[in-house]
Amino acid sequence: MQLTGLQTLITILAIALGAMLTRFTPFFLFPDHKEPPKIIGYLGKMLPAAMMGLLVVYCLKDVSFLNSPHGIPEIVAIISIIFLHKWKNNVLLSIGGGTAVYMILVQTMFK
């Protein structure tokens, strides 16, 4: 199914409006001169760690530790991410390095 020019324009405008609403709403709800509610501060402190845990669980959900390669590439990549992050304290380096280690392992050693 191909969209007409008008349908494409409406789609682009709807996406732009949705993006603008999600980006600008927090600034209207919580201006600089006003203290945000305590629950917002609590969520700001707790959610990053919770999201990281969720992502780790999601990434490991289909790994079979009983069948070959027994999750070895994933475990080595996770260890390399932890090592890189403790060493350089750089999120992009940790994620990029861990991804590179994992991809090298699964494409060369664990085919």
Query: Mind listing the pLDDT tens digit for each residue in 58-104?
Result: 999 999 999 989 999 999 999 999 999 999 999 999 999 999 999 99
Q: How far is CA 77 from CA 7, 32, 35, 61, 81, in A?
A: 44, 41, 41, 15, 6
Domain limits at 79? Answer: 65-111
Would you say residue 70 lies in a domain? yes
- pTM, entire model: 0.64
Looking up tokens 């191909």 gives 2
DSSP character string of 59-85: HHTT--SSSTTTTHHHHHHHHHHHHHH
| 93 in any annotated domain | yes
Does 111 map to a domain?
yes
Q: Quick check: is 82 in a domain?
A: yes
pLDDT at 111 over 90: no
Predicted pLDDT of residue 89 = 93
pLDDT in tens, 13-70: 999 999 999 999 999 999 989 999 999 999 999 999 999 899 899 999 999 999 989 9
Q: In total, how many domains does the chain have?
A: 1
Within a domain: 75: yes
The answer as to whether 1 is a domain residue is no
The reply to whether 106 falls in a domain is: yes
d(CA 95, CA 72): 18
